[in-house]
Every structure is written in C-alpha cells, then in structure tokens.
Structure 1
Amino acid sequence: MTTRLDEKTVAELVADATAAPSMHNAQPWRFRFLTGEGVVQLHADPERAMPHSDPDDRALHIGCGAALFNLRVAAAHAGLVPETRLLPEPQDPLLLAAVRLAGPAGRPQEDDLARLYPAIRQRHTSRHPFADKDVPEDVRATLREAAAREGAGLHFPGVWHAETMLDLVRDAESRDVMDPDANEDLVRWTRLGPEADLAVDGVPEYAFGPRKRSGRAPVRDFAGRRRVADRGATAFEHTPHLALLSTVGDHPADWLRAGQALERVLLEATLADLATSLTSHALEDRELRLLARDPGSGTGQVQMVVRLGYGPRGAATPRRPVGDVLDVL
C-alpha cells in the first residue's frame, strides 16, 4: 500500500537524507518526489562532480549512497517502509535509486533502521586528534555487522596493512604536490573568510580542524598553503585506528552499496560515542586503490578509509536548503 504523503513530510525526509557526508561536502544529489506513486527518486547532480579527484564518479555515487541510507533511516523513523531499487532505469545513469515509501500495513518495519535516526544529526566529520585509546572488540563487531547488512565488508587492518595504507596516503599527497591541477577540486569546494559563514556547501574553514604538527593520522589539510586565521597546530595520533570499507565489485551499483554501508557504519559508530573521519585520498587513483586490498585475501575493492576513535566530533558543515535539491511532481 502506498501512503499518501504531504510535501512537508517529504521535505523533512530529504533534509535528513542530505545530512550525509560527501566528498568535500559537494552534496552531489537531487531528489524528485513523484506524488502519485509515493516514490522518492535520487538523482546524481553532474554539476557537482569532481573531474580531477573523482574522474569516474565513484565518490559521487558513494556520497549519494550515504544520502540514500539516511533517507531509509528517516522513513523508518516516520513509520514508513522504504522499498528501495538501485539504478532502476539503466538508460538513465543519473537516476541512482527509487524509494517507494509504503505504509506499514502488511510489511515488517525496519526498527533497526529507526534506531539509528538520532545519530543522523549527531554525526560530523572530525578533523581533530583522537585519544590514544583502543576501540573495543564488541564495538568493532557491531561496525562489521553494520557494513555486512548493506552488502559490504569492514576490515580493521593489522599493523603491516595499516602501515601500507598510511604509506599510500603519503604517496597520494606527494603526487598532488607534483601535479599543478591536483588541488583544483579542493580549492573549488573550500570556503574561507566571510564566505565560510554564508556557505551552504563545501568545507568551511571552521571545519578544517587544527594543522597536524606531528602524528600519522590520515587527515587531509583543506587549507593547503592558504592562511586561515586563528588556526593552530597540534599533535595527532601516531597509530591511528583505521577501518577499510570494501565491496566485491567496483561498479556504480557497488559504489551505491558502499555509500549505504558507510553511512550505516558511521551512524553506529556515532551511537557508540566514536568520532570519525573519512579519507579517500589514497583511493582516488585506481592503481593505488588496488594496493589497498587486504594483503591476506587479495580480494575486495576498498572504497573508503575510515579513521575512528574517541575525541571531538567536529563541527557541523552547511547544507543546501531542501528547496534547492527537491522537486515535487
């Protein structure tokens, strides 16, 4: 049974969906609500793609997948049953998903999704140092299960593999130094000075976090060589806790699954009082991405590196008004 939804309810669901993380907070999504069908469509916004950093739109799909998961969580919280199809029209590659918002009659509600709802607004990317404290195994198990429920894997690398990942991040940073166009996307999506206070997208300077004086945490410096007022430097963790999110395949549907799995992991981590940050710096180059695989099995496609630990959750980054991303037909 399709439930007749008013525009206010749909707008609230989409507002929750857009709280998801995306590369450089570009928010590369658009939503369309088909009133008569009770369906919310998720479309990619190619104007917010990053041709240099994300030439195959992998990160764009992951960000949209994270927004899709938030939509499912918000729908479940509202007492609806989200029936989701990925890539429903192969002839339209920009139509990434269709979610029919059904009433609960005769259908099992996803109570476990609704449980995650409070974390949607609590989750923020943290570019601050984390405490030198281990993540308990039961929490790790919960996060692994969260990824698995969305068709992905979450691997906590051992010492040797973690060192390899940190080396790959440094390699990516070195490549950027040698490439004059490497920071084009980053500069486009960072907001400095008065622009930061008015921004509705991108990463504003108040969310950059401190400069890294020492330590090995993989935290991208969004300021680069540009001056940011009142920004200090501090020591980060020497041995950061990393988790690698992977999928079996490496195609648009896999990237959308990776985004949903990523957001489920991040929301579970938030409920467990963990702070998180993301890095895809070493994964933006396909050759480097192959080197990020689990050295034991050699299988899986690593889609995201998650840094997690106990520390500040970071500042909330701006979001575009719902009216800018939602069309009602």
Structure 2
Amino acid sequence: MTAPHLDHAVIARIVGDAVSAPSMHNAQPWKFVFRSADDVIELHGDPDRAMTRSDPDHRALHLGCAAALFNLRVSAAWHGHPVRVHLLPDDSEPWLLATATVDGPGGDDPELAALHDAIPRRHTSRYPFSDEPVPQALLDGLRAAARMEGCRLEVPGDWHVETVLGLVRDAEHREEIDPVHQEETAAWTGATGRRDDGVPAAAFGPRGSAGSASVRDFGRTRPVPDRGWAVFEKRPQLVLLGTPADTRADWLRAGQALERVLLQATADGLAASMTSQPLEWRELRWTARDPAEAMGQVQMIIRLGYGPQGAPTPRRPVTEVLEIR
C-alpha cells in the first residue's frame, strides 16, 4: 500500500515557520517548491533579493536561506514529520540550495521539536542589554548547539572583543563613504509604509548615546522621527560562529547553526542581535578570527544578553514563497 502524501496545509504551516528566520536586511531571499509526488521540499535562493554590493558572493544569502531550512526542520519535527536534508543537490542548478525529503510519522526528533515554541519569539534585539553576564552553562549549551550543525561557537577574550568592536566601527565608516552601499541598505531598511520585507524604522531600536554601539544602526546616517537614545552595555557579550572552510556548503551549515543557536538562546531567556558589518568587507573579515583558534572562517558575530526582545519584522506571505507542484 502506498503511503498517503502530506497534506498541503501542513506543508504551508511548515514553510510558514521556516520564513520566520532572520536574513540580511530581512530581504527573505528564499523560494520553496513542494514536489507532491515524492514529498520533497526544495529550497531555492532568490537572486532578485540578493545584495549585490554588501553580499557580492551571496554568502549572507546562503546563511539566511539555511536559517530558514533549520526552522523548516524544527517545524517538520514538531508536526511529527522529520526530514532528510541534502545540501546543494544539483550542480547544474546553483540556486537550488537544498532538498528536504519529508518522512512519514514515527521518526521523532524531540530535540528539534522542543525548539518550535522559540520560532515566533525569536526577534533581533537592537536594544541595550543589562550587564548581567550570560552563565557559562548557557554558553556551553550554545556551543553544543553549534557543534550539532557542524560549526564552532567561540567566546572571544577581552582583546578579541575589542578587535571585533574596532572592526565594526571601521566597517561603519566604510559604509558611510560608500554611496552605493548606503543606497542598497536604504532600499531595504527604514520604510514606514506597509511592506512585507525589510527592516522597518520601528525595529531600529534606540541610538547609542555614548558613541558607537555594538548593534547595527540603520539610522546612523539619516534621521528617524521620534527615535530615542539609550546607553548600551560597555562590554557586550559577543560570540563568534564559524566554520573550518568557506565553501557554499559551509555557509549552509553555518546558517543552520546560527538559527539553532538563536532559537536555543531564545528558549534560554536570552536576547540576541547579529553584527555582520565587518564580515561584509573582504579586507576586514579575515581579521575577525583568532588565529590561535581552530575556527577557519567567522560567519557571524552574535551579541547575547538579558534585555528586551526586539520588535517583530514583517514577513512575506507563504503563498508568495511556496509553490506546490
């Protein structure tokens, strides 16, 4: 007897969870295709939503799509349908980033399913955090989460944190004198009207009142009405997510590890934001890593702490990103 195929409504709910993932400037550069005949969900990158100036190699696009892939895995497990993932399955289709074969009920993955409640609660927080340190036990748990996806999560020492913060400031200045970079960023951020992508001005958070903060300030070079000021933590708790190499497969592993870490942090009561500016400049990115560590390439800089969760950012409707065949 042939097993019944999955209900399309279940697939829509799974993809609805997938698209809650973070992506560069909330561009949501993904497309999903569900092949009903073999219960396979294809994940495609969307080149029309690529950042040609700040992400010319599409590294960040791969990270965002892979974060959505991890959410898909979590949602499928929560619905009782674990998936088998194949990264970069067809060299002739470079924008086909992964396939996920949806198995029938019975293959439970409780660790993945347990993260489902964190999906709608995870938001990037561009607000100040308290000075309360993140307990070592929680950091160890986040390290383990990254390892489960084949990546490393490192907690940099004081000198390394200062180096990374210096790179953030350097990247900010480079952006300010690059009109093409500014134009691209402005196209995706600061909208006040109704749109289903990008970072709205309401999600910018306050401006740092004591110089540069460790949070990307999308309103740094343009006025935002009624935006407040706040003092950010003097010594932010940063962690670095990295991979041994820097291939497309590494980027896809890193994106899944990033979302696993962010969901685990949310479940642990932590707030988080991501800082990618130094990683967008080739001449700065290599200096973000500690040469004494085994991490080959830093893929994301994450700020952790205790503070308010960020404002939700809009999402494209599932009907716009999912095709059922």
* TM-score, length basis structure 2: 0.97
1:120 Cα deviation (Å)?
A: 0.3
Task: Name the residue aligned to 1:321.
Answer: 317
Q: Say whether 1:254 aligns with 2:254.
A: no
71-80 or 6-15: which moved more? 6-15
Which one of 215, 220, 236 corresponds to residue 219 of structure 1?
A: 215
CA–CA separation in structure 1 for the residues paired with 2:143 and 2:218: 30
Q: Is the 8 A contact 2:152 2:295 kept in 1?
A: no
Pairing 1:124-273 to 2, within 5 Å after superposition: 124-193=123-192, 195=193, 198-214=194-210, 217-273=213-269
Helix, strand or coil at the partner of 2:175: helix
Task: Name the residue aligned to 2:12.
Answer: 11
Task: Name the residue aligned to 1:26.
Answer: 27
Q: Is the 8 A contact 1:216 1:239 kept in 2?
A: no
Helix, strand or coil at the partner of 1:266: helix
Aligned residues: 324
Task: Name the residue aligned to 2:52.
Answer: 51
Helix, strand or coil at the partner of 1:100: strand
CA–CA separation in structure 1 for the residues paired with 2:293 and 2:303: 22
CA–CA separation in structure 2 for the residues paired with 1:22 and 1:283: 14
Q: Structure 2 unaligned runs (5+)?
A: none
TM-aligned CA distance change 1:2 to 1:265, over 3 Å: farther
Task: Name the residue aligned to 2:118.
Answer: 119
CA–CA separation in structure 2 for the residues paired with 1:46 and 1:230: 35
1:90 Cα deviation (Å)?
A: 1.1
CA–CA separation in structure 1 for the residues paired with 2:131 and 2:202: 25
Q: Is the 8 A contact 1:215 1:238 kept in 2?
A: no
Q: Is the 8 A contact 1:80 1:102 kept in 2?
A: yes
CA–CA separation in structure 2 for the residues paired with 1:164 and 1:109: 43
Letter in 2 for 1:145: A
Q: Is the 8 A contact 1:244 1:302 kept in 2?
A: yes
Q: Alpha-carbon deviations, 1:157-180, whole Å to 9, x = none? A: 000111110011111111112222
TM-aligned CA distance change 1:153 to 1:192, over 3 Å: same
CA–CA separation in structure 1 for the residues paired with 2:8 and 2:72: 15
What is the RMSD of the two structures over their aligned residues, measured on CA atoms? 1.3
Task: Name the residue aligned to 1:300.
Answer: 296
Q: Is the 8 A contact 1:215 1:237 kept in 2?
A: no
1:4 Cα deviation (Å)?
A: 1.2
Q: Is the 8 A contact 2:243 2:295 kept in 1?
A: no
* TM-score, length basis structure 1: 0.96
1:215 Cα deviation (Å)?
A: 5.8
Task: Name the residue aligned to 2:305.
Answer: 309
Q: Alpha-carbon deviations, 1:15-65, whole Å to 9, x = none? A: 000000000000000000000110000000000000001000000000000
CA–CA separation in structure 1 for the residues paired with 2:38 and 2:167: 47
Q: Is the 8 A contact 2:24 2:60 kept in 1?
A: yes
1:218 Cα deviation (Å)?
A: 1.6
Q: Alpha-carbon deviations, 1:203-243, whole Å to 9, x = none? A: 00110100111165421111233222211111101100000
Helix, strand or coil at the partner of 1:66: helix
Q: Percent identity?
A: 55
TM-aligned CA distance change 1:53 to 1:74, over 3 Å: same
1:191 Cα deviation (Å)?
A: 3.5
CA–CA separation in structure 1 for the residues paired with 2:47 and 2:27: 11
Which one of 286, 299, 320 corresponds to residue 290 of structure 1?
A: 286
Helix, strand or coil at the partner of 1:83: strand
1:294 Cα deviation (Å)?
A: 1.6
Letter in 1 for 2:238: L
CA–CA separation in structure 2 for the residues paired with 1:215 and 1:3: 59
TM-aligned CA distance change 1:272 to 1:109, over 3 Å: same
307-316 or 216-225: which moved more? 216-225
